[in-house]
Chain A
Amino acid sequence: MPVQFAAKRLGKELSKIQNGLPPGIELVSADNLEEWFLDIKVLDNNPLYLNETYRLKFRFSQSYPIEPPEVVFVKQADRPIPIHPHIYSNGIICLDLLGQQGWSPVQSVESVCMSLQSMLTGNTKNERPPGDEEFVRGNKQRPKDIEFYYHDNTV
């Protein structure tokens, strides 16, 4: 059962995803139960994200959904990293929902995508987080090992 725990849950999520996702979210690939790719779009007319599609990479541990998945934006030719004061230019996202503290097992891939959509929708600042360059240059840690300090309650 423990082994099945993550696999079973992901299987369920996948079958639900294949039955349809909310507008602006698309499954790109889910070839295994460790790494999935999804595309998200911001649907309103926010000029910062108009007509862009962003690719998200999900990585799941064996302890999913007790532990949060690792979620980052990945850059590709036609998939930029969205500009946002909480998204580093290497795609790492500072969102408490994705950290041990903010995560809850009731969240899912779909709900994370929707949260990110709304996080982008609500943003008006055309900027990266402070210290972005330095962080991106120096960081070799995996997102889950980084200690974020969540302070902004407006997101």
Chain B
Amino acid sequence: MQVFSDEAVNVPDSTDWLGTPLACLMPVEQAFRCHVCKDFYDSPMLTSCNHTFCSLCIRRCLSVDSKCPLCRATDQESKLRGNWALREAVEAFTKSRRAILDFARAPPPALQSPTEQSNSPTKRKATEMDGAKEEDQETKRPRRSTRSTKTRAAELTAAILQEEEDTTPSADPDYVDQPPDDGLVACPICLTRMKEQQVDRHIDTSCPGSPQAAASKRQAAVAQTPQPPSTFPSFNNRLGQSTQPQKPPERLPALAYSMLKDTALRKKLSELGLSTHGSRQLLEKRHKEWITLWNANCDSSRPKKRSELLRDLDEWERTVGNPGGGSRIGGIGMTIGGGAGQGPMARAQAAGAEIKDKEFDGKAWANRYGDSFGDLIKQARKGIKRQTLDGGANSGESAKEKKKETEAETEKEDTPADLLPRTRPDGDGESSVAPPTPMDIVPPSSPPRLDEQGGDTGMDDEQQVIPGTPEKGNSKWETSQQQKQQPPIAGDA
């Protein structure tokens, strides 16, 4: 328990209402929470199937399997629409939540129910101060009904103000009153932001002497607001943002990675100002994550700064971006299916999911990819002999022939059937063995890129275990001789 930070555990939750006289607010609060992250909706987006999720959540989900997490209807990121009414509702609710909760937890003695005692001590403590205050007032005015709505309203407003002061990060993560973290410092006099070493010189020479000047300058940059510049530039900033949104950043289109050569992809990344370092797979993932972050940010009512997004991407890269794929794909696999194979990884991952699907049409798949399989197998053969990459794709032969060949070879040696999805529901003999995904057969012999694959998988057995389908397909080149692993087929088929 003590491992967790406080924010991770003492999270506001809809169950907070339980045990208060306002337990009926629990479903209300639940309705304001995203089903994926369980937090209050952050930039809620409506799917084609009329479900709503946080922008970031649904974009993540769709980029993994293009299905609505709630009803599994297929959907696309481009079809998402902002649910602005809900956004406002959530904002209003989260702002008043604390006040209502405090109010509910410290009811007048007459209303105090025995269940109230069952409140968890930590939460109780958090509100004790307010509670005591409240109860104090109650003793002075014992009859609740006589309290004028005016006083109550005043109390509520006070509570709201207080709430605004100590907004919890989860309720309002983007409410930035602090200076932006851009590596700059503010001039102590005019509050203009600049590099630290410039400050002295600036004060001596160009400082206008009052924050107003700077503030109005800033406002001019943002677009005019009717408000006269106040002494709090950050406050102005906030107003400027909410009432006069800057030109909204444009959403980035998804890329068809399969159509892009490595150099083109690197160019795209550098155009976006992102790192071009890493394997092809990593490049694609990085680009994808950036698009997700960026587009989700576009949906936000208070978009973050680019530098903040970059920091998010950085964090992602350190953890999720490079999940210990390394050592698992490493080993012998690298000598055969190495570098050149990394490219279509993401595509193959999606394809792998497709293959496993119950409605998978093996025949169509074979028809569609027969050509490439044939080519790839040939390439691989050549490559194994020569240990050099033979880039030329032979395209002379008929698709049919190649398809046959593919299947035959698939059966024969390279791909033990047990590594492929076995029985398909249609029970058709021909399609009982699905052809491999393009990933399965990889032109060999590029130098291994162990460096990019590095990372601990948390696996302690030496056995080579490959995540997901496609890599498994990849691994069959070397694992088939080592051992045959029957994928379990459970049940009574």
Contacts and interface: CB of A to CB of B under 8 A. Distances in A.
A115 B227 CA distance: 57
B18 interface: yes
B153 interface: no
B35 interface: yes
Interface in A128-155: 129-131, 134-135, 138-142, 144-152
Closest 10 A/B residue pairs (Cβ): A11-B8, A2-B316, A94-B490, A19-B15, A129-B490, A106-B35, A105-B36, A12-B38, A152-B491, A147-B487
A79 interface: no
A15 B10 contact: yes
Task: Report which residue of A10, A16, A141, A152 has the largest number of chain B beta carbons within 10 angstroms of its beta carbon.
Answer: A141
A66 interface: yes
Interface stretch (B273-281, B392-400, B464-472): B464-472
B8 A8 contact: yes
Contacts of B422: 149
28 contacts: A2-B313, A3-B318, A5-B320, A8-B8, A11-B11, A12-B13, A16-B13, A16-B38, A33-B3, A33-B4, A63-B320, A63-B323, A65-B37, A86-B490, A94-B488, A94-B491, A101-B357, A105-B35, A105-B36, A105-B69, A106-B69, A131-B488, A139-B485, A140-B465, A142-B465, A145-B468, A149-B422, A151-B489
Interface in A34-62: 61-62
A66 to B, nearest CB: 5
Contacts of A138: 483, 485-486
Contacts of B483: 138
Interface in A85-108: 85-86, 88, 92, 94, 99-101, 104-106, 108
B148 interface: no
Contacts, number: 169
Contacts of B64: 66
A18 B10 CA distance: 11
Interface of B is mostly: loop
B69 A141 contact: no
B312 A146 contact: no
Given A3-B319, A92-B488, 17 more contacts: A1-B315, A2-B316, A8-B170, A9-B36, A9-B37, A19-B120, A33-B4, A85-B492, A94-B488, A100-B353, A105-B35, A106-B70, A131-B486, A141-B463, A147-B472, A149-B421, A149-B487
B272 interface: no
Contacts of B39: 8-9, 12
Interface of B: 1, 3-4, 7-11, 13, 15, 18, 35-39, 56-57, 60-61, 64-65, 67, 69-70, 72, 120, 170, 289, 293, 312-313, 315-316, 318-320, 323, 353, 356-358, 421-423, 425, 459, 461, 463, 465-469, 472, 483, 485-493
A149 B487 CA distance: 8
Contact of B488 (A3, A32, A104, A129): A129
Interface of A: 1-3, 5, 7-16, 18-20, 30-33, 61-63, 65-66, 85-86, 88, 92, 94, 99-101, 104-106, 108, 129-131, 134-135, 138-142, 144-152
Task: Report which residue of A9, A30, A129, A134 has the largest number of chain B beta carbons within 10 angstroms of its beta carbon.
Answer: A9
B356 A101 contact: yes
A139 to B, nearest CB: 7
B62 to A, nearest CB: 10
B489 A130 contact: yes
A14 B463 CA distance: 34
Interface of A is mostly: loop
Task: Report which residue of B18, B120, B320, B323 has the largest number of chain A beta carbons within 10 angstroms of its beta carbon.
Answer: B320
Task: Report which residue of B423, B463, B487 has the largest number of chain A beta carbons within 10 angstroms of its beta carbon.
Answer: B487
Contact of A1 (B10, B56, B67): B56
A7 B18 contact: no
A36 to B, nearest CB: 12
Contacts of A139: 485, 488
A43 B61 CA distance: 34
B61 A105 contact: yes
A120 to B, nearest CB: 15
Contact of A146 (B11, B65, B357, B487): B487
B321 to A, nearest CB: 8
A19 B70 CA distance: 24
A13 B490 contact: no
B316 A3 contact: yes
A109 B9 CA distance: 16
Contacts of A131: 486, 488-489
Nearest to B6: A11
Task: Report which residue of A1, A14, A20, A146 has the largest number of chain B beta carbons within 10 angstroms of its beta carbon.
Answer: A1
Nearest to B488: A135
A125 to B, nearest CB: 8
B421 A147 contact: yes
B22 to A, nearest CB: 16
A19 B123 CA distance: 12
Nearest to A88: B488
Nearest to B296: A1
Task: Report which residue of A65, A105, A144 has the largest number of chain B beta carbons within 10 angstroms of its beta carbon.
Answer: A105
Given A8-B8, A15-B10, A104-B72, A66 B60 contact: yes
Contact of A11 (B9, B18, B489): B9
B3 A85 contact: no
A88 to B, nearest CB: 7
Given A16-B15, A104-B72, A146 B3 contact: no
Contacts of B15: 15-16, 19-20
Contact of A147 (B3, B60, B356): B356
A104 B15 CA distance: 23
Contacts of A19: 13, 15, 18, 120
Nearest to B57: A105
A63 B61 CA distance: 11
